[in-house]
Amino acid sequence: MLTSGIILLAGSLLSPNPGLIFWTAITFVIVLLILKKIAWGPILTALEEREKGIQSSIDRAHQAKDESEAILRKNKELLAKADAESDRIIREGRDFAEKLRADISQKAQSEAQKMIASAKEEIEQEKRRALDVLRNEVADLAVKGAEKIIKTNLDADIQKRIVDSMIQDLSTKRN
Amino acid sequence: MKRVNVIQPKALLKVIALLVPLLFNANGLAFAASSQTSDLTKNSVAAVASPVVSAPAAEAAHGAEAPEGEEKAGDVIMHHILDNSVFAFEPFGSINLPKIVVGGYDISVTKHVVMLWVVAALLLTVFSAVGGSYKKLTNRQAPKGLANAMEALVEFIRLDVAKSNIGHGYEKHLPYLLTVFFFILFCNLLGLIPYGATATGNVNVTLTLSVFTFFVTQISAFKAHGVKGYLQHLTAGTHWSLWIIMVPIEIIGQFTKPFALTVRLFANMTAGHIIILSLIFISFILKSYIVAVAVSVPFAIFIYLLELFVAFLQAFVFTMLSALFIGLATAHEGHDEPAAGTAHH
């Protein structure tokens, strides 16, 4: 394009201009110094402060989280301990009750056994005494019966049979 | 008189409607108008349509012959890009800026100097307000409005540019980096508004700024390494027999960095304006409304939006590279040890 050729040939695009360089330098330095004082100082301080504030907030939050986690862990430990304790207590109680029951039942059994034994012995004694009494009675009766028979009827055979049958009767009645 | 017939009231309205976007580049048009004032026919047209901004310009472009039109376009573009001592507010007139010569040096105030001062005034206004609101701000309050908007940029420069490139001791360089970023950004943006001029599109301005970066880099290198360390840095840790090659290369390297900064910023800002103006002048050279509606104006608007992005981008790139150079100059281990390691092999 002819236009671009003219622009290139113009040459003044790259021509140095000391005045402009001078003014640029002056303007830039003044702007830099003023802005450094009035703007960058406050802004950067505020930004840094905020950054630190945010960092400390995050740190604090982390710390709080750690703390709460520790508390939670402690609570869990306590709970587990309490659980174990209650388990132990229940187990002990159950064992004790078991033992107690076994003891009591054993005692009762032995007591009953003893009572049964003593009762049996008493019965045996009573039986023996009764038998003695009965024997004496039977002997007396026999003697009396014999006396009567002899008195009334001296038939020996009949008397003998009567006595026999009497004894028989007595023995069946006893049983 | 044939040319006057071309500019019928109806057609004139059309031209005005099409040229509203051109107001962005009123300076260029102003030159086009002034260069044609000697023409008698132009004078009559200007008298007829004096309250209309773009009429003389449109007439100037339409009235010119084809080869002559191309030359005019180039001149207008160059006039828009270059510095001069007249600050024009077409059609309200223009201000002749004072010419100052001190000790044989011409330090006259030019258009770009005025733009620099406007930028400086804007920066001071904006940031005194922002700084003031930060002074009032307590630790528990969030910034609002302008302070909030500027904080995003400041924080970006602080963390992503300064801290990540310079590392330890980046706080010292923050005021410079922040100032250079906002200075360039405001310069770039002011070039995009009507009657504005892009001071950063002038090689002298960008050269001065990159010389500042050069000095900051060199001084921080001296402070970080001392004279001995600085000289060692120039050898890049190579064997002494290579010094005859390495030392000149390193010294040249010190100067290519600011040179690259200078040219990058200047060329980027200039190129965008040249493209916008060239697109606009296509329609004048071809003398076609269709081209204006279909090509010139949409593309110029597109490039304008692109320029808006480039304004931010180039301010960022300049700051970023300044931080990078400072970081490279002050780095203790990162630069020296790998070089020393390769020298042993």
What's the mean pLDDT in A64-90?
95
CA–CA separation, A40 and A46 (whole Å) = 10
* pLDDT of A111 above 90: yes
Quote the pLDDT of residue B49: 39
Nearest CA in chain A to B179: A32
Quote the pLDDT of residue A8: 52
Tokens 């608007």 belong to residue: B301
Residue among B191, B187, B196 at smallest CA distance from B272: B191
Q: Is B82 on the interface with A (CB under 8 A)?
A: yes
Which amino acid, residue A174? R
Tokens 């590392």 belong to residue: B167
CA–CA separation, B80 and B74 (whole Å) = 10
Taking 70 as the pLDDT cut, the residues of chain B under it are: 1-9, 11-71, 139, 332-345
Residues 229-248, chain B: which have Cβ within 8 Å of A? none
Interface probe for A, chosen from B159, B179, B277 (most Cβ of A below 10 Å), is B179
Q: Is A38 on the interface with B (CB under 8 A)?
A: yes
Residue B102 backbone class (left: φ over 0; alpha: ψ -120 to 50; beta: rest): beta
Quote the pLDDT of residue A11: 54
Secondary structure in 3-state letters for chain A: CHHHHHHHHHCHHHCCCHHHHHHHHHHHHHHHHHHHHHHHHHHHHHHHHHHHHHHHHHHHHHHHHHHHHHHHHHHHHHHHHHHHHHHHHHHHHHHHHHHHHHHHHHHHHHHHHHHHHHHHHHHHHHHHHHHHHHHHHHHHHHHHHHHHHHHHCCCHHHHHHHHHHHHHHHHHHHC
ipTM summary value: 0.71
Q: Cα torsion for A168, A169, A172, A175, to the nearest 10°?
A: -110
Quote the pLDDT of residue B308: 92
Q: Is A97 on the interface with B (CB under 8 A)?
A: no
R_g over Cα of chain A: 65
pLDDT in tens, B131-181: 888 888 776 777 778 888 888 888 888 888 888 888 888 888 888 999 999
CA–CA separation, B316 and B261 (whole Å) = 12
* Spatial contact of B269 and B64, defined as CB atoms under 8 Å apart: no
User: Where exactly are the structural domains of chain A?
Assistant: 37-174
pLDDT in tens, A116-134: 999 999 999 999 999 999 8
Q: Is A54 on the interface with B (CB under 8 A)?
A: no
* Spatial contact of A158 and A145, defined as CB atoms under 8 Å apart: no
CA–CA separation, A89 and B259 (whole Å) = 89
Q: Between chains, do A36 and B175 touch, taking CB under 8 Å as contact?
A: yes
Which residues, including other chains, have CB under 8 Å from residue B300's CB and lie 6 or more apart? B21, B276, B279, B280
Quote the pLDDT of residue B46: 39
Nearest CA in chain B to A13: B82
pLDDT in tens, A47-68: 888 888 889 999 999 999 999 9
Which residues, including other chains, have CB under 8 Å from residue A125's CB and lie 6 or more apart? none
How close, in Å, is residue A66 to chain B by CA atoms?
Answer: 25
* pLDDT of A19 above 50: yes
Q: Is B174 on the interface with A (CB under 8 A)?
A: yes
Quote the pLDDT of residue B20: 58
| Closest partner CB to B116 (pick from A24, A34, A50) | A24
How many degrees, rounded to 5, is the angle at CA B204 between CA B201 and CA B207? 95
Residues paired with A142 in a beta bridge: none
Quote the pLDDT of residue A3: 57
* pLDDT of A172 above 70: yes
How close, in Å, is residue A22 to chain B by CA atoms?
Answer: 7
Quote the pLDDT of residue B337: 42
**CA B208 from chain center: how many Å?**
13
CA–CA separation, B239 and B231 (whole Å) = 14
Quote the pLDDT of residue B338: 42
CA–CA separation, B290 and B283 (whole Å) = 8
* pLDDT of A21 above 90: no
Contacts of residue A21 in chain B, CB cutoff 8 Å? 204-205, 207-208
Does residue B72 sit in helix, strand or coil? helix
% of chain A with per-residue pLDDT over 90? 47
